[in-house]
Amino acid sequence: MKKIIPMGLLWLGLLLAVPSLMAAEISVKDGDSIQSAVNKANTGDVILVYPGTYKESVYVDKDGITIRGVVQDGEWPVMEGEGVRNDAILYSGNDFTVEWLTITHYKGNAIMGQAGNNFVIRYNKVIDTGVYGIFPQFGKNGLIEYNVLSGIEDAAIYVGMCDNVDVRHNEVFDNVAGIEIENTRHALVENNYAHDNTAGLLVFITPGLPIKTTYDVILRNNFVVNNNTANFGAAGSIVSKVPPGIGIVVMAADDVIVEGNIVSGNKTAGIVITDLAFITDISSDPDSEPNPDRMVFLDNLMFDNGADPVADVKALMLTQFSRRGPDILANLGSAQEPDNCIINRERYTRFGVKKWSECERKDTSDILTMRIPGGAPNEVVTTENRTKLLYQGICAGCHAYNLRMIGPPTLTVQALYRNDAQGIADYIAAPHKVRTDYPAMPPQGHLSPELRREVAEYMLGVTK
Amino acid sequence: MKRLALLLCVVLAACSNDNVPDVSSEKAAADALQVLQQSSSADGKALYAACAACHGAKGEGNVALSAPSLVNQQDWYLFRQLNGFRSGLRGSHPQDGYGAQMQAIAKTLPDEAAVNAVVSYIASFSAEPAAKTLDGNIKRGADYYSNLCGACHGPAAEGNDKLQAPALAGVDDWYLLKQFDHFRDGIRGADEADRYGYQMGMMGKTLPDAETAKDVIAYIQSLAD
């Protein structure tokens, strides 16, 4: 009897290990389709994409898939959007990895996650892909590292409505926003090089989204340099209102630690700590507390910031008898409160930190990662929560309740389609452009008619 | 007798609220009615003679009579509104005195051909932005406009016929404010049968206060320059 139990466990172990034992490698060569390989793949399979040009959008809606580019003699596999396709990679499966790809000329996103947990996005080059470069949305436990992204008209790396994400060793330049941590909890942004964007690193709350908070974020050991590029975001969009010349923005986010960064050459200010009113007056969300609370500002190297601030900041600084912007600008809204703290404040040019307290914490060496040991459990999808998940994972990527993100605000959609969920369901299957100044909506025809109808009804009922 | 009833209608509606047309407005409306009743023409120019009493010979409007300029309003929008007045979708709320005037007048247009004719004639006028009469915080107005209003009315308030959202730039700012207030307060667009009016009725409740509405309209006015 004593021997049977270990034997049983052994067999059980073998059975459980079957998927990985059976994991296959599927090769995709120039002229083949990555999507066909994904369609054939099972959990645990690795899709090897060889050098070549792949003109397609790839949807991954199963768990445990890896798409791995094979770089040979400096030749990369290239996903080419030709300015007509919306997304290069869309994943909703859990345990998804994508690496070693060059992605260029897509209109919407290079890599977008729609509610997949335990994602790994690394070693990718993303060039001129429209709105977002790497955009995991509504996922838990992710790693984004060693990617290089440029020419994105919103955020190069946009971590939206996620939990437990590490963003490290990435280079982001010539974008409007370098790295955004938005409506996200528990994020470590470390060792990145953010230069020549309109703004380098942004940690904030966008009101009107399903997730209402941003907190527990560490910005550590990043280079945040010369972010002075004129804002080229779509006119009228929320990101188009970010003033140029800012290294780091912390807006309404709580418990943000800033440590060990080199922040220099940003012409408006090195770091701006502010409440929601900084970007737009339309900042009301009953569930989003608008103030930045408990900021911890540890040792950072800051110099040569604020040489030529934007008009609003210049006007503000004139009240301090200065024409220059500061390293630290914290006089906006409630950012001046003593729940924020700083050490060695005398090293910086600063405005608004007089009341800040001295930090008790001196470093963050005890925190190595924000990811969850052992990974996040998969979301359990039921008929009750699936429409909510769909809305949060897909729709809320572009539609905020009462302000313009990428698509029109949910409020306006509700006015246009009141009592007509079917109208929305039909439209999103094959959208046509109705607004000159908004990007065309990507088709959602891959969702079944029932799901489209359900999510449309859900959208009509959203109240904040 | 019919004419008397219509006149009575106009006067009664006008007296029942604070949107009360004054004596000169009433007289102009009465003149318009008279002109239309005596006209059997489907000629736009001849029909417009009635409109001119309030809206001016060149569609330039007359703030003293609370008659907006027409030259900056799109022909498809004027067509829809005239038909709305004719069917009673617009101008039926007891507090909409001027709307009631306009409804009474529009109802004397015999058919859609007449509506088309008069709208075509108005479209032949040269457009000129109405003069600024309101002050507001344009920067704040732009913020709200681009976030909420622009989704339908377009980035330059130029209108979007695909969404049946009219152009706003160039339309009299005082008129826009009055109409916005009417939408917000359910005086216009409260009837669900008025599909597009009802849409605006919903949006009319999304600005936080009256001051913001003025800011937005001041911004819209600035787009016309």
Q: Note whether residue A129 is domain-resident.
A: no
What gap in Å lies between CA A376 and CA B124, rounded to an integer? 67
Asked if the model's pLDDT at residue A204 lies above 90, the reply is yes
Residue A16 located in a structural domain:
no
pLDDT score recorded for residue A385: 87
A12 pLDDT above the threshold of 80: no
Looking at the partner chain, which of A409, A415, A435 has a beta carbon nearest the beta carbon of B147?
A409
Domain total of chain A: 3
Residue A33 resides in a domain = yes
Residues of A in contact with B144 (CB under 8 A): 281-282
In-domain check, residue A1: no
pLDDT at A155: 96
Same structural domain for residues A80 and A155? no
The pTM (predicted TM-score) of the whole model is: 0.85
Q: Same structural domain for residues A319 and A195?
A: yes
A418 chain-B contacts, CB cut-off 8 A: 198-199, 202
Nearest CB partner across the interface for A411, out of B150, B163, B206: B206
Please tell me whether residues A277 and A399 are part of one structural domain: no
If asked whether residues A204 and A90 sit together in one domain, one would say no
- Shared domain for A256 and A328, answered yes or no, is yes
Query: Same structural domain for residues A344 and A438?
Result: no
For residue range A208-235, what is the model confidence (pLDDT) as tens digits?
899 999 999 999 999 999 999 999 998 8
pLDDT of residue B22: 80
Query: Residue B147 and residue A403: Cβ atoms within 8 Å?
Result: yes
* Residue-number span of the structural domain to which A395 is assigned: 386-461
Q: Nearest Cβ partner of B150 from A236, A414, A416?
A: A236
In a domain, residue A12? The reply is no
Whether residues A230 and A308 share a domain: the answer is: yes
Last residue of a domain, one of A67, A82, A115: A115
List, as ranges, residues 45-74 from B with C-beta within 8 Å of A. none
- Are both A95 and A76 inside the same structural domain? yes
- Segment A410-432 shows an average pLDDT of 95
Q: How high does pLDDT run on average in chain A?
A: 92
Domain final residue pick, A323, A348, A375: A375
A interface residues, B as partner, C-beta within 8 Å? 235-236, 238, 241, 280-282, 284, 402-404, 408-409, 411-412, 414-416, 418, 434-438
If asked whether residues A224 and A340 sit together in one domain, one would say yes
SS3 sequence of A24-82: CEEEECCCCCHHHHHHHCCCCCEEEECCEEECCCEEECCCCCEEEECCECCECEEEECC
pLDDT in tens, chain B (225 residues): 444 444 444 444 444 445 778 877 777 777 777 777 766 667 889 899 889 989 999 999 999 999 999 999 999 999 999 999 999 999 999 999 999 999 999 998 889 999 999 999 999 999 889 999 999 999 999 989 999 999 999 999 999 999 999 999 999 999 999 999 999 999 999 999 999 999 999 999 999 999 999 999 999 999 986
What pLDDT, in 10s, does the model give residues A25-60?
Answer: 999 999 999 999 999 999 999 999 999 999 999 999
Domains annotated for chain B, with CATH where assigned, are 2-123 (1.10.760.10), 138-223 (1.10.760.10)
Among residues A464, A290, A417, A282, which one has the least CA distance to residue B145?
A282
**Minimum CA–CA partner of B149 in chain A:** A412
Q: What angle do CA A86, A89, A90 make, to 5 degrees?
A: 85
Strands A25-28 and A46-49: parallel
Q: Tell me, what's the pLDDT at B225?
A: 66
Give the domain CATH number at A427.
1.10.760.10
Q: How confident is the model at residue A21 (pLDDT cuts 50, 70, 90)?
A: low
B32 and B55 in contact (C-beta within 8 Å)?
no
Please check the confidence at residue A14 and state whether its pLDDT lies above 50. Answer: no
If asked whether residues A357 and A391 sit together in one domain, one would say no
Together in a domain, A59 and A154: no
- Residues A434-446 have a mean pLDDT of 89
ipTM of the complex: 0.83
CA distance B156 to chain A (A): 10
Q: Are residues A250 and A330 in the same domain?
A: yes
A4 within a domain of the structure (yes/no): no
Minimal C-alpha gap between B206 and chain A (Å): 8
